A and B are shown apart, each in its own frame.
Chain A
Amino acid sequence: MNYEAKATATTPAHVIFLIDSSQSMTVNCYGQSRMVVVHQALTQVILQMIAMSTKVIGGQPKISPRFRIAVLGYNEQIHDPFNGFVPLDKLADLGVPLFTPEGNTNTALGFQTVDNLLQKSLPNLPSTWPAPLVCHLTDGECNVGGPPNAIVDRIKSYATGDGPVLIENIFVRDSALRTDITDIQTWQGVRTPQDLQDQYAIGLFHMSSVIPEPYIRAIQYAGFSQIQPGVRLLFPGTNPELIKTALAVTGSSGMVERPS
């Protein structure tokens, strides 16, 4: 229960990317639609995972399946292009999915799908495997399906021997914070609800897990160099760099070793 299990080919880390693909994701964000920004950030984190898992064997680069990844898009329905978890090397062959934003936001449906996926997978996870991480990326309130809090609490109650399932939220919206982020290098993270002024962001705060201490170093290395223990896995903002870095946090799942 200490989040120190390392992701290896034999003990892969499970990461679920739950991406809001509702109509609001078409809103322009720094010259591109939010969905495109999210897709680029997602591609970056997948590249990072591949980089961490690739070695040259017999003159050919080979991806070690240290991660098992699920990418779910949700609006009024669920889009699961990989049909659940897919090993990292397989994902590299398939490519990073790009969802078409449309329809309303049914966040509860998205988390319910995650719940189902974990319920199916967790019993088979040995206790020595890294705790799964759910990375939820959204830009606004759910307008159908009701609040997802109960489902999220249930998901957070699941655990492997490494620790309970972790929930990370990336809130693609400006003005959620009382104090804007000027530099992610100096940003100290969201520690209390009082750091937020957006009600939905506060809801996301309560859904988000506290960053496990073993992840701190990796998160700092990812770019949030001032993040300290006690901060929530909540990253509000529309800046592509922030989104990219926040998504990169998922790469610390089971990869608490230093980069050497």
Chain B
Amino acid sequence: MTDKNEALPTPFRTAPTISNTHKIHVSLGHDVIASCFYKQKAGEDLEQGSLNEDAIIWQANSTGEILSFAVCDGASQAYLSYIASNFLAERLVAGLNAWIEDPYTAQALTEERLRSYLDSWVQEGQQLVARHHIDLDRINPLLKEVMLNKQRNGSQAVFFCGCLDFRLNGRSIFVWLGNVLGQVFDQKNRGLLNTKTMQNDLERWTTVRGCTTTPHIKWIDTCDIRQIFVASDGIDPGIVQNGISPEYAENLVKTFQNRSFTDDASLLYFSFPATTSEPAPRPYAAPFPPTPAHRDLTPEPAAGPQPRVPELPPPSAPQPHVPQVLPGPTTWPGSPEFPPAPTSRPLVPQQPAAAQPGTPDRPPVSTWQPRVPQIPPAPTAPAARPGSLEFPPAPTFPIAAEQPAATRPGIPDRPPAPTGQPHAPQLPPASAARPGSSELSPTPAPPFASEQPTLARFGRPGLPPVPSYQPPNPEPVLTPKSSGPKRTPDHWFGISKLWSAPNPRPTDSKRKRTLRPNSPKSMPVRWPELLRSRISRIALVTFSIIVVIGLGIVLVPRNLIPFQPVDTPPTLSAAPTLSVVPTAIATISVVPMAIATIGPTRDEACKPFPQTNLQICGKFLEYWNAHGGLDQFGYPISARFLEESTSDGKSYVVQYFERAVLQLHPENAGSPYEVLLTPLGTYWGKQHYPQGLPGALGR
């Protein structure tokens, strides 16, 4: 057996391999992940030459800070199940990379939403299946009936996938559906996740109906993770209680190889070497690249043998790109049976037939390509934002547009609260009713006079009757990763900051406690922020399209056309395919996505905030000034806009601040209640504690 790893740089050299077993060291910045990868076709499949129905893929994002993996197991009784498994693996890995890279998208990734994402892939899955013509006329009636029935049920697969976020205080997500075993252990070999007890044979994704049940999601702090073990049921090891050693994983593989089996087997094992006895100060916080345009923009590789992994700079240097490593001769690409990737997203370069001589269902190892999507520079738009394969880059975000990232000064922190001058907000009269709060009757007066102002402003703690607040889009109650004592306004612009500012790497072991900008328990980010970044990209595309209006049609990279609604997942159409798109249609599709903002009137006083390039005007400014200002509310993070209240169904003018959302009630004009705080506590409490807040009435 020749050493397939000769072409690999040192960090990627594999250990001496046994058949179909691969041990790979993937370098992610300053850390090394030891991984054991195993994929084996069923014994009888080896004899018959059928395709492996399992798929294992992992892929780092362009900065090397996020690593996604997927183990998919095609349902053996389903129709061409290797299509579903490989398709899912591709989409899940690329999708997770893109979703998790963007903290806003990550926060919005609920189980239900993920299910809708997965369901939205059905059509593409069907198209892949439809490309395979099977001549059913030349087979016996029994087999024909079986095949027709399988066709009706579609290609099916189960999966366990995850995305490890190695950014500072990043959280890792694990997603699974069906009976693929996934276990995660911490530094003391305690189980953080075990899907074994949650497996359901009826769970699967099909190209006919998407998910049969809702997929499961588990978030775990990346710094707590030491080992990840994933196995398809073809190599079911049972439940491992106290962690797994690399030797155990290898022995498992060897044991399995000696068995007669009918099911394909896959095993994926990651171990993260601990550097200290403390909860490791990993993952590292490497500086972010100074510019966003660092995605691999090299053109599609030419046909023919390619090195498996491109050369990497020394591990100590910033890692511009960690490509996916896909060892193993049994994986699927290049197989003549597997459909070629859609032209719109050739994540896996198609190998010409001449490059795969002799082997019917596997390409020569030397032809392996990294699966990193490659996007050539688009002539009509700036280079794609890392990790976002769907939207154009966001330099047109208002701030960035006015102040180029290279020269824009960082947004300063809020000035400290003046010492010795405790906040003394102007409070409404105690006897006045509080409009908009149905349960708080204006009379009788509260038992304690001092309680009244507090109630009027903040509502009654823990009591549910305050009409719950719903953001414009009922789904996306977003928990940003960023919060903490040092949170800056940049936080709200997430990606922009990630691009422009180096992320300092803490040096002490307390950084987990002291620097926690990505805590999910922090203040909610709502749609307006999310929309802003989207809208900015949309605006760029709109601009690009409008420039060429008059030509009738224009060639636009498909991945820059945001036909999808804002909350759809980033499609993985990273391909540089040019499409003929009627400009009018493209423009019309873009416009409705914007939300109208309400600018100041001529008479309104405004206070601009260059830190966020927004201003507070009129009644909101009066309220903001009177009730604590910057110290109490933070910077404005949105303009004024109309938002429908879920409590009464009416639309109100609102403005979002870092720590509050103000709501204008013109029906209370002239009273102290013309501007009200939205009942965020009630809303947020319901979201986080659907059974009731601790200590609240009725609990």
Seen from chain A, the residues whose Cβ lies within 8 Å of a Cβ on chain B are 6-11, 43, 46-47, 50-52, 54-64, 66, 92-93, 95-96, 128, 221, 257-260
Contact among A8, A93, A258 with B201 in the assembled complex (CB-CB below 8 Å): A258
> Which residue of A10, A50, A58, A95 is within 8 Å of B146 (Cβ)?
A50
Chain B CB count within 10 A is highest, among A7, A47, A50, A260, for A260
Distance between Cα atoms of A242 and B75 in the complex (Å): 26
Q: How far, in Å, is A246 (CB) from chain B's closest CB?
A: 20
In the bound complex, residues from chain B placing their C-beta under 8 Å from that of A221 are 201
Which residues of A have CB within 8 Å of B142?
43, 46-47, 50, 92, 95-96
Which residue of chain A has the shortest Cβ distance to B157 in the bound complex?
A260
The answer to whether B262 and A66 touch across the interface, beta carbons within 8 angstroms, is yes
Question: A52 contacts B77, CB within 8 Å?
Answer: yes
CA separation between A9 and B142, bound complex, in Å?
A: 19
Say how far A88's CB is from chain B's closest CB, in angstroms. 10
B76 contacts A52, C-beta separation under 8 Å: yes
**In terms of DSSP, what is the predominant structure of the interface of chain B?**
loop
Q: How far is the CB of B509 from chain A (nearest CB, A)?
A: 43
B48 touches A61 (CB 8 A): no
| Whole-angstrom distance between the Cβ of A61 and the nearest chain B Cβ | 5
Which of these, A46, A58, A63, A260, contacts B158 with CB under 8 Å?
A260
- B414 interfacial contact with A, CB 8 Å: no
In the complex formed, the residue of B with least CB distance to A255 is B262
The answer to whether A257 touches B147 (Cβ under 8 A) is no
Given the complex of chains A and B, what is the CA–CA distance between A257 and B201 in angstroms?
A: 11
Contact present for A59 and B261 (CB under 8 Å): no
In the complex, chain B residues whose CB is within 8 Å of the CB of A43: 142
- 27 A-B pairs with C-beta separation under 8 A: A6-B262, A9-B47, A47-B146, A47-B149, A50-B146, A51-B146, A52-B77, A54-B146, A56-B132, A56-B134, A56-B337, A57-B48, A60-B134, A60-B135, A61-B146, A61-B147, A92-B142, A92-B143, A93-B140, A95-B140, A257-B262, A259-B77, A260-B74, A260-B76, A260-B158, A260-B179, A260-B232
- The 4 lowest CB-CB distance pairs between A and B, nearest first, are A9-B44, A55-B50, A92-B142, A57-B50
What residues of chain A lie closer than 8 Å to B260, measured between beta carbons?
6, 8, 10-11, 128
- Asked if B636 lies at the interface with its beta carbon under 8 angstroms from chain A, I say no
How many chain B residues sit at the interface, stated as a range, is 35 or more
**Residues on the A chain within 8 Å of B42, using CB:** 8
Q: Are A259 and B50 in contact (CB under 8 A)?
A: no
Partner of A259, one of B49, B75, B134: B75
* B233: interface (CB < 8 Å): yes
B373 within 8 A of A: no
Q: For residue B554, give the distance in angstroms from its CB to the closest CB of chain A.
A: 40
Residue of A nearest to B199 (CB): A258
Q: 1/0 contact trace for B233-264 toward A, CB 8 Å?
A: 10000000000000000000000000011110
Q: B539 interface residue, CB < 8 Å from A?
A: no
Docked pose: A221 CA to B135 CA in angstroms: 31
Residues on A with C-beta less than 8 A from B49 are 57-58
Closest B-chain residue to A54, C-beta based? B146
Report chain B residues within 8 Å CB of A95: 140-142
* A8 pairs with B75, CB closer than 8 A: no
**Shortest beta-carbon distance, A69 to chain B, in Å?**
12
Q: What per-residue 1/0 map shows which CB atoms of B114-147 lie under 8 Å from chain A? A: 0000000000000000001111000111110111
The answer to whether B145 touches A47, judged by C-beta atoms less than 8 angstroms apart, is: yes
> Besides A59-B135, A258-B233, 7 other CB < 8 A contacts?
A8-B42, A11-B260, A51-B146, A64-B44, A259-B76, A260-B74, A260-B233
Instruction: List the A residue with the shortest CB-CB distance to B43.
Output: A8
1/0 per residue B318-340: CB within 8 Å of A? Answer: 00000000000000000001000
Counting CB contacts under 8 A, is B680 at the interface? no
- On whether the beta carbons of B140 and A92 are closer than 8 Å, the reply is yes
Contact A260 B201 (CB under 8 A): yes
Contacts of A66 in B (CB 8 A): 44, 262
Taking CB atoms, residues of chain B closer than 8 Å to A55 are: 45, 48, 50-51
B-side contacts of A57, CB under 8 Å: 48-50
**Least distance between B265 CB and chain A CB atoms (Å):** 11
B50: chain A residues within 8 A (beta carbon): 55-57, 62
CB contacts (< 8 Å) of B77 on chain A: these are 51-52, 259
Q: How far is it, in angstroms, between the C-alpha of A43 and the C-alpha of B141 when the chains are bound? A: 11
User: In the assembled complex, how far is the CB of residue A33 from the closest CB belonging to chain B, in whole angstroms?
Assistant: 22
Q: Which residue of B lies closest to A9 (CB)?
A: B44
- Hey, which chain A residues are within 8 Å of B51, CB to CB? 55-56
Cβ contact within 8 Å between B73 and A260: yes
User: Does the CB pair A64–B75 fall under 8 Å?
Assistant: no
Most buried by B among A46, A54, A55: A55
Counting CB contacts under 8 A, is B360 at the interface?
yes
Of B51, B142, B201, B232, most A-chain CB atoms within 10 Å: B142
**B150 interface contact, C-beta 8 A:** yes
B57 interfacial by beta-carbon distance below 8 Å = no
Bound CA span A6–B42, Å: 12
B349 at the interface (CB under 8 A from A): no
Within 8 Å CB of A6, what residues of B? 260-262
Q: How far is the CA of A95 from the CA of B42 in the complex (A)?
A: 28
Nearest chain A CB to B159 CB, angstrom units: 10
User: What is the bound-complex CA distance between A128 and B233, given in angstroms?
Assistant: 21
Q: Report the Cα distance A95→B143, complex, angstroms.
A: 10
Complexed CA–CA distance, A63 and B142 (Å): 11
As a 0/1 sequence over residues 175 to 211 of chain B, the CB contacts with chain A under 8 angstroms (1 = contact) are: 0001100000000000000000000010010000000
Q: Which residues of B contact A59 (CB under 8 A)?
A: 132-135, 337
The reply to whether A260 and B178 form a contact with Cβ atoms under 8 Å apart is yes
Given contacts A260-B201, A260-B233, contact A56 B75 (CB under 8 A): no
Q: A9-B47, A61-B139, A92-B140 are in contact. Are A260 and B75 (CB under 8 A)?
A: yes
A64, B46: Cα distance in complex, Å: 12
Contacts of B262 in A (CB 8 A): 6-8, 66, 257
Closest Cβ–Cβ distance, residue A173 to chain B (whole Å): 29
Contact call B48/A9, Cβ cutoff below 8 A: yes
B134 & A61 in contact (Cβ 8 Å cutoff): yes
> Cα distance A62–B233 when bound, in Å?
23
User: How many angstroms between the C-alpha atoms of A47 and B261 in the bound complex?
Assistant: 22
Task: Report how far A99 CA is from B133 CA in the complex, Å.
Answer: 37
User: In the bound complex, do residue B43 and residue A10 qualify as a contact, i.e. CB atoms below 8 Å apart?
Assistant: yes
Question: What does the 1/0 interface line of B27-62 toward A look like (CB < 8 Å)?
Answer: 000000000000000111101111100000000000
Which residues on A sit within 8 Å (CB–CB) of B360?
Answer: 58
| Chain A residues in 8 Å Cβ range of B664 | none
